[in-house]
């Protein structure tokens, strides 16, 4: 096993060589300080699944801040510290940032956690790696690989995470896990959907009314963060449908509907045009667009939406409801109605309605402008005032509706309008 792990840690397709160097540097420094040092969590899980690893979470039995300070002395970069939690973030020196992403890593002192009441943020105190692994969410995330000295590449797996990885199951570490922290329910759904795993049967049974009730006490920000992470996943549709079927939504907000499976394919679709996109915003738009305005506003409040997100979701629902009144309108009327709305909102309504005018707007009409500018109007002696905007928008409407199709024709129309 150990040999296998070492082989995986030296595989540049899973761990780019710069990250390997970084880990050896940290390992050497920790060994010099006699500090047992581990890499934990998603790194170990993904490595054992033969998947490229992302974040590097380093845990030490000792003072992570001291380790960070020595690393900065030796290799450069910057350190921010949290004395209370004995943790540090090392912003890597430029030798690494060119090739290592993300460009910072967490250095954490092994800790033990206790929950004052269900759903509360935990109280923590420094402890051993064993305790640190036992505070984690699932067995598959509760493994560590030791880095320092001769121990390099040793797997610590006190909760049999590797066996669960092989079986493809997500299992909590103790029966109170979801009660302590119901955000783990969302996390379980993510791992299940991402790796096509199954929730182990007693873990599934622990997503019961008692645990679900604690979701009601979570802050909007914490819940939205979990939902955002789901929408950012490749298999988000599977996950959001699963969350609905487990009865999570009514605990978040009584008006939160099931995600319409008919819309689920659109979750994984990137806009085809040059529209600023966001998978999370698209997720909420598709989810909430059929609600009435009051429902959207109340859910936006509960989930602590930014004002931009609230407006984008509202815009989708309004536009979808007004489509029947806009159908067969002239391009200028469509454009006038659509240009006040976020482009992504228009795109989402296009996806679900296939209304061609919406695509025409996004691909062509929104870019149409007359040749004439405000300066031209000034030069022609038009006194500044609301008439300026009116004339320019009449010229634009003429282009959009095919009433002019050359600069010359626009000039003739301008003369008429200024008479
Ligand atoms: P992902 O690939 O989804 O980012 P990850 O394992 O890197 O997975 P993080 O959210 O970065 O996930 O968390 C790092 C580690 O911290 C996890 O592997 C897990 O061990 C632990 N962890 C994170 N959130 C919780 C939680 N709510 N309860 C217990 N342990 C947690």
The residue-averaged pLDDT of 376-402 equals 91
The chain-wide mean pLDDT, for the chain, equals 93
Residue nearest to atom 24 of ligand 1 (CA): 137
Give the C-alpha distances (Å, rounded to integers) separating 386 from 134, 277, 382, 390, 418: 68, 34, 11, 7, 14
Per-residue pLDDT of 259-273, as tens digits, reads 999 998 898 777 677
Calculate how far, in angstroms, residue 26's C-alpha sits from the geometric centre of ligand 1. 21
Q: Is the CB of 106 under 6 A from ligand 1?
A: no
Residue 1 has pLDDT above 60, yes or no: no
Q: How far apart are CA 333 and CA 318, in angstroms?
A: 16
Residue 96 has pLDDT above 90, yes or no: no
Calculate how far, in angstroms, residue 333's C-alpha sits from the geometric centre of ligand 1. 50
The residue-averaged pLDDT of 30-34 equals 95
Residue nearest to atom 18 of ligand 1 (CA): 41
What is the end-to-end Cα distance of the chain in Å, rounded?
87
Per-residue pLDDT of 280-336, as tens digits, reads 999 999 999 999 999 999 999 999 999 999 999 999 999 999 999 999 999 999 999
The residue-averaged pLDDT of 389-415 equals 95
Q: Which of 141, 197, 239 to mutate to test the pocket of ligand 1 (most atoms within 8 A of CB)?
A: 141
Calculate how far, in angstroms, residue 41's C-alpha sits from the geometric centre of ligand 1. 6
Question: Is residue 91 within 8 Å of 80, Cβ to Cβ?
Answer: yes
Calculate how far, in angstroms, residue 183's C-alpha sits from the geometric centre of ligand 1. 11
Q: Is the CB of 141 under 6 A from ligand 1?
A: yes
Residue nearest to atom 28 of ligand 1 (CA): 137
Which tokens in the block code for residue 5? Answer: 């792990």
Residue 122 has pLDDT above 90, yes or no: no
Calculate how far, in angstroms, residue 380's C-alpha sits from the geometric centre of ligand 1. 65
Per-residue pLDDT of 273-289, as tens digits, reads 788 889 999 999 999 99
Q: How far apart are CA 77 and CA 66, in angstroms?
A: 15
**Segment among 307-321, 342-356, 375-389 with least mean pLDDT:** 375-389
Q: Which of 38, 40, 41, 122 to mutate to test the pocket of ligand 1 (most atoms within 8 A of CB)?
A: 41
Per-residue pLDDT of 39-61, as tens digits, reads 999 999 999 999 998 888 999 99
Residue nearest to atom 5 of ligand 1 (CA): 42
Q: What percent of the chain has pLDDT over 70?
A: 98
**CA triplet 109, 21, 60: central angle to 5 degrees?**
10
Q: Is the CB of 57 under 6 A from ligand 1?
A: yes
Q: Which of 44, 51, 129, 137 to mutate to test the pocket of ligand 1 (most atoms within 8 A of CB)?
A: 137
Widest pairwise Cα distance in the chain: 90
Cis ω before 102 (30° cut-off from 0): yes
Q: Quick one: CA torsion of 87, 91, 92, 98, rounded to 10 degrees? A: 140
Instruction: Pick left, alpha or beta for residue 168 (phi over 0 → left; psi -120 to 50 → alpha; otherwise beta).
Output: left
Nearest atom of ligand 1 to the alpha carbon of 57? 14
What residue segments make up the domains of the chain, in order of their start?
1-167, 305-363, 374-418
Calculate how far, in angstroms, residue 384's C-alpha sits from the geometric centre of ligand 1. 60
Which tokens in the block code for residue 331? Answer: 């391009």
Spell out the alpha helix ranges (H) of 168-306. Answer: 177-180, 183-195, 201-205, 209-215, 220-232, 236-245, 249-252, 279-288, 293-302
Question: In CATH, what number does 1-167 get?
Answer: 3.30.460.10
Nearest atom of ligand 1 to the alpha carbon of 42? 6
Q: Is the CB of 41 under 6 A from ligand 1?
A: yes
Q: Is the CB of 222 under 6 A from ligand 1?
A: no
| DSSP run (H or E) holding 58 | strand 57-60
Question: Is residue 355 within 8 Å of 327, Cβ to Cβ?
Answer: yes
Nearest atom of ligand 1 to the alpha carbon of 137? 29
CB atoms within 10 A of CB 126: 17
The residue-averaged pLDDT of 83-102 equals 83
Task: Note the pLDDT of residue 352.
Answer: 95
Per-residue pLDDT of 71-85, as tens digits, reads 999 999 999 999 988
Q: Is the CB of 226 under 6 A from ligand 1?
A: no
Calculate how far, in angstroms, residue 196's C-alpha sits from the geometric centre of ligand 1. 18
Task: Note the pLDDT of residue 116.
Answer: 81
Task: Note the pLDDT of residue 2.
Answer: 59
Q: How far apart are CA 38 and CA 226, in angstroms?
A: 27
Q: Is the CB of 55 under 6 A from ligand 1?
A: yes
Output the pTM of the full model: 0.91
Calculate how far, in angstroms, residue 181's C-alpha sits from the geometric centre of ligand 1. 12
Q: Is the CB of 184 under 6 A from ligand 1?
A: yes
Calculate how far, in angstroms, residue 40's C-alpha sits from the geometric centre of ligand 1. 9
Task: Note the pLDDT of residue 272.
Answer: 73
β partners of residue 104: 91
Nearest atom of ligand 1 to the alpha carbon of 133? 20
């Amino acid at each position: 096993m150990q040999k296998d792990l070492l082989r995986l840690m030296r595989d540049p397709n899973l761990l780019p060589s710069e990250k390997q160097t970084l880990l050896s540097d940290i390992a050497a420094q920790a060994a010099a300080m006699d500090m047992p040092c581990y890499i934990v969590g998603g790194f170990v899980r993904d490595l054992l699944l033969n998947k490229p690893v992302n974040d590097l979470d380093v845990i030490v039995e000792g003072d992570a801040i001291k380790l960070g300070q020595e690393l900065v002395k030796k290799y450069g970069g910057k350190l921010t510290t949290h004395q209370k939690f004995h943790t540090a973030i090392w912003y890597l020196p430029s030798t690494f940032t060119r090739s290592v992403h993300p460009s910072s890593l967490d250095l954490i002192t092994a800790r033990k956690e206790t929950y004052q009441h269900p759903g509360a943020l935990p109280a923590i105190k420094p402890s051993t790696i064993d305790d640190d692994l036992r505070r984690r969410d699932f067995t598959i995330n509760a493994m560590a690989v030791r880095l320092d000295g001769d121990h390099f590449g040793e797997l610590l797996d006190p909760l049999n995470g590797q066996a669960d990885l092989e079986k493809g199951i997500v299992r909590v570490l103790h029966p109170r896990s979801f009660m302590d922290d119901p955000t783990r329910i969302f996390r379980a759904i993510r791992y299940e959907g991402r790796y096509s795993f199954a929730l182990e049967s007693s873990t599934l049974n622990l997503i019961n009314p008692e645990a679900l009730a604690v979701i009601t006490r979570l802050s909007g920000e914490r819940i939205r963060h979990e939902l955002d992470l789901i929408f950012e996943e490749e298999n988000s549709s599977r996950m959001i449908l699963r969350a609905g079927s487990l009865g999570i939504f009514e605990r978040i907000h009584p008006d939160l509907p099931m995600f319409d499976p008919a819309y689920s394919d659109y979750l994984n679709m990137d806009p085809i045009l040059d529209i600023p996109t966001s998978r999370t915003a698209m997720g909420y738009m598709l989810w909430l667009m059929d609600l009435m305005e009051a429902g959207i506003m109340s859910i936006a409040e509960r989930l602590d939406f930014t004002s931009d997100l609230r407006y984008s979701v509202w815009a989708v629902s309004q536009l979808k409801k007004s489509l029947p009144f806009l159908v067969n309108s002239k391009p200028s009327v469509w454009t006038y109605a659509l240009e006040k709305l976020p482009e992504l909102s228009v795109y989402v309504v296009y996806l679900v309605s296939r209304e061609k005018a919406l695509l025409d707007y996004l691909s062509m009409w929104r870019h149409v402008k007359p040749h004439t500018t405000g300066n031209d109007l000034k030069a022609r002696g038009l006194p500044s005032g609301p008439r300026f905007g009116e004339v320019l928008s009449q010229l634009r409407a003429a282009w959009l509706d095919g009433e002019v199709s050359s600069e010359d024709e626009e000039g003739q129309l301008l003369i008429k309008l200024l008479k």
